[in-house]
Chains A and B, each alone.
Chain A
Amino acid sequence: MTASTTSKRIVIVGNGMVGHHFVEQLVNSNANCEITVLSGEKRLAYDRVHLSSWFSGSRAEDLAMTDEATYDSWGVKYYTDAMVTEINRDNKSVSTAQGTFHYDMLVLATGSYPFVPPIPGNDQEHCLVYRTIEDLEAIEASAAVSKTGVVVGGGLLGLEAANALKQAGLETHVVEFAPQLMAVQLDEAGGDLLRNKIEDLGVVVHTQKATQVIEAGEEARYRMAFADGSALETDMILFSAGIRPSDQLGRLAGLDVGERGGIIINNQCQTSDPNVYAIGECALWESRIYGLVAPGYSMARTAVSHITGGDLEFAGADMSTKLKLMGVDVGSIGDAHGRTAGSLSYTYHNQPEGIYKRLIVDGAQKKVIGAVLVGDTSDYDTLLQYSLNDIDIPEHAESLILPSAGEKPALGADALPDTATVCSCHNVSKGDITAAIDGGCCSVGEVKSCTKAATGCGGCAALLKNVVDGELEKRGVEVSKAICEHFNYTRQELYHMVKVEEIHSFDELLEKHGEGLGCDICKPAVGSVLASVWNDYILTQNNLPLQDTNDTYLGNMQKDGTYSIVPRVPGGEITPEGLILIGEIAKEYGLYTKITGGQRIDLFGARVEQLPDIWEKLVAGGFETGHAYAKSLRTVKSCVGSTWCRYGVQDSVGQAIDLENRYKGLRAPHKIKFAVSGCTRECAEAQGKDIGVIATENGWNLYVCGNGGMKPRHADLFATDLDSETLVKYIDRVLMFYVKTADRLQRTSVWMENLEGGLDYLKSVVIDDSLGICDELEAQMQLVVDAYQCEWKTTIESPEARKRFRQFVNSKAIDSNIQFVDERGQIRPATEAEKIAGASRIPVELV
């Protein structure tokens, strides 16, 4: 009413993802206008794309894309539960139950609604759809009283819905009318492979099934009768058989709509009434509805541009997708079905490993025009860039999809033109990223907040990092090797300073070579260096504050703040008395017990104040700390060896025990694992360990730098037929050289991969003493070995040290948040829901 006459009144109907994006863009444009948002839902915009995260714990707050306060601060008027029922184009107004709103420009962003096939019985209580937060609540409620669930529709959304039902614990079926899954994005072979993989995960897939009626079931709530005479019983049904544009308002108001629905728009996103725009899933552009968020965002930007006098045009959008459905990687690019006239295709099908890739090229074999990837989408980014940017394909096009057959022509970020779209959600091109870097951004994080790239679906994150790193490097920005902001040195340099200057404390090192107060990166790293060099008790007053909580409390912290207890069991050999003692302690304190992957026993669920008492009993029974919490030697795994095994050629258990006792307590840049096998059958899996030893007729073969964790690495054969003495000598040298030169948190496997000269160099240092440091390495190791003490023994003997093991300085109460429930006869931490429901038990204080 008081608005100045020049300010335009803009009314937006619908506050879905696209409607909200429009508001955001319009506000950012600083145009002089009065914005009114009418949301048909009871809340403001939320992230529909990540709706499924509801089933892994997201709530409405987590999904929200905006809130009232933000709209208020933008000066945007908004109404929720405001379904628009009518547009009056003559006097330029729309009506809701709340009243009438006048506009100069109207924007329809009404999205779409799920299509429910007209099957008799489809409107019963447990027949649901999957589109809004309210739908999720209904699904959750229904799942709670159901055992089986059926998703009707085997497209992208249907499979996502099936995953949700599976996560909710239901026996899950997918019923699809077409002969294959994801018929829009995949070809037949890709769809078949996807089906196999999904069935392996326990979801039953029924294709070519047309449901005729949903009637009362005998064993379950409903019975779906199919056209082919078969039937399926289920407790609930989720329809995901496609979407239909919400175009009713447009129809009623006489706007042009498509034959099969959708409000027709031009390149400026105007409908047949130039004062009315339509954007997002309700809009029909060149006979197409775009069911993805990125094209909707692009329409929103176009409409804003046109309203504010700009000249952006909507020119269609790429519908390529890459996603993980129930853990299965699926990618589809461009013309996935090869429908373009004259197109040719290459196919790679690896049945044993479940990988299918099809590359579609144009008739001239110059350009990538489409691709289907199932089971391995590692080529997606590269192929997409080829297709989006019309890059000429290399001579042997098949090399683009073949697994490392020879040289795979890598398409580095460098090869992309500046116009290449890196993030399609936010329409960020490579040029935009370069501009952001020129404008002062120096990290992926900064580029992200400046351009919004990778903040939508997240699919472009890897490519963004490549582009940013490449561009930074080009500008000569050195990726700093400094360990953190407090020390401008690498771990290796710090090690040298500590050793050469005989530094014994963090404060001393910080004073001489650092700045600030330290942090959780440099403190544990320096703590580890100090321990590697001097091997003092790690919980002295000076060392204590440097340790990660696991080292401070000499146990691994679990998710609920309790700790685990792992006594050392050298070589995995344990007496019945030892087993009984562990069992009795576990029983007394009500701990969860498990055999670990490292041939020993882990006790879980001990509260911090219980640790010293428990360890007192273990130490009294002859056990030592297992260092399961420390970056140091973990276990030396063994096989039973020649003493019992009919094939064994040496005493692998005895050797494992000796090695474990020698190197226990050695602090290192990361943890170290050993194994010793009694013959070439390798039952101890020594070739997957940092140090592996395998018995031969003549002695021992030594393997180094293997790994079994996140990135398995086969260990390298280092020396053969060694006697025990030489074996120990070589291990001393290899390990000390690693301790001296590796980066913080670098396992031996990664250290080896980065060691210039590799295995041959390491051999020359250790076997030929090419650096002349072998005596020093051995002496250093002997010092560490001689300084060994069981940290738990030292701790329980010191009243001062024991004092730290308490939850409260001023009370003997226990932490009431630690609650357990029973599972398979033992405890486990209660979930949040169980705590709220009061289903858990709070541990009773033990005497």
Chain B
Amino acid sequence: MQATAEMTQQWHDICEESDLVKNSGVCALIDEQQVAIFTLKNKDGITVYAVSNWDPIGKANVMYRGIVGSLGGEPVVASPLYKEHYSLVTGRCLENDEVSLSAYDVRIDDGRVLVAL
């Protein structure tokens, strides 16, 4: 399992860590795919998340412009168009089982932001 996951994933170097916005989002274009990258400050420091930028209900590339926060302990982003909440960890939509975002691995390495697709 582990091995196949790693084989199909490729890390992409996106931008400087300082290009990210605290408690908010930016968007990256990776191989024609739009990925929303968020930072969220919690008690243990700052966590970075990456999910797909396409709003499956609003049908527009806007997720990175949503408000982030938490619902019942789960880090979420709210669609800026119609306000559905999506988990930043799994991409699951909290209000509607039929849609979801893709969640991607993301990490900071030596001041650079890397996303795995």
Contact = CB atoms under 8 A, between A and B. Distances in A.
Interface stretch (B3-11, B58-66, B102-110): B58-66
Contact of B65 (A557, A809, A817): A557
Contact of A518 (B15, B22, B28, B70): B70
A559 B58 contact: yes
B65 A553 contact: yes
Contacts of A622: none
Given A520-B83, A809-B26, A545 B60 contact: no
A2 interface: no
B29 A811 contact: yes
A508 interface: no
B80 A804 contact: no
Contact of A519 (B19, B21, B67): B67
Interface of B: 14-15, 19-24, 26-30, 34, 37, 40-42, 54, 58-62, 65-73, 75-76, 78, 80-81, 83, 85
A561 B67 contact: no
16 contacts: A517-B41, A518-B69, A519-B71, A519-B76, A520-B67, A523-B67, A544-B21, A545-B22, A546-B67, A608-B65, A803-B19, A808-B27, A808-B29, A809-B14, A809-B28, A815-B34
Interface of A: 485-486, 507, 516-520, 522-524, 541, 544-546, 548-549, 552-553, 557, 559-561, 608, 803-804, 807-811, 813, 815, 817-818, 832
A612 to B, nearest CB: 15
B21 A545 contact: yes
B60 A810 contact: no
B60 A548 contact: no
B81 to A, nearest CB: 7
Given A516-B69, A517-B75, A557 B80 contact: yes
Given A519-B70, A559-B60, A544 B24 contact: yes
A544 B75 CA distance: 18
B62 A810 contact: no
B65 to A, nearest CB: 4
B62 A557 contact: yes
A395 B87 CA distance: 57
Given A559-B81, A561-B61, A517 B27 contact: no
A548 B80 CA distance: 7
Contacts of A559: 58, 60, 81
A524 B20 CA distance: 21
Given A517-B69, A559-B81, A810-B30, 9 more contacts: A516-B73, A517-B40, A517-B75, A519-B76, A523-B67, A545-B21, A549-B66, A561-B58, A807-B61
Q: Among B40, B62, B68, find the residue whose CB has the most chain A CB atoms closer than 10 A.
A: B62
B80 A832 contact: no
A511 to B, nearest CB: 10
A491 B33 CA distance: 40
A815 B61 contact: yes
Contact of B67 (A548, A803, A810, A818): A548
Given A557-B81, A817-B61, A810 B70 contact: no
Nearest to B42: A517
A527 to B, nearest CB: 10
Contacts of B59: 832
Contacts of B65: 549, 552-553, 557, 608
Nearest to A547: B67
B56 to A, nearest CB: 13
A810 B12 CA distance: 11
A485 B70 CA distance: 9
B83 A561 contact: no
A645 to B, nearest CB: 43
Nearest to A552: B65
Given A545-B67, A549-B66, A811-B29, A520 B78 contact: yes
A62 to B, nearest CB: 9
Contacts of A560: 60
B70 A807 contact: no
B66 to A, nearest CB: 7
Nearest to B83: A520
A813 B32 CA distance: 10
Contacts of B27: 807-809
A244 B54 CA distance: 47
Contacts of A520: 66-67, 69, 78, 83, 85
Nearest to B55: A561
B39 to A, nearest CB: 9
Nearest to A61: B98
A451 to B, nearest CB: 19
A813 B23 CA distance: 25
B41 to A, nearest CB: 8
A519 B69 contact: yes
Nearest to A507: B41
B24 A545 contact: yes
Contacts of B23: 545
B15 A561 contact: no
A524 B83 CA distance: 13
Contacts of B34: 808, 815
A803 B83 CA distance: 25
A810 B28 contact: yes
Contacts of B21: 544-545, 804
A817 B78 contact: no
Contacts of A818: 61
Nearest to A817: B61
Given A485-B71, A541-B22, A561 B62 contact: yes
A41 B87 CA distance: 38
A653 B88 CA distance: 51
Nearest to A550: B80
A514 B4 CA distance: 43
Contacts of A516: 69-71, 73
B15 A809 contact: yes
B27 to A, nearest CB: 5
B19 A809 contact: yes
Nearest to A546: B67
Contacts of B14: 809-810
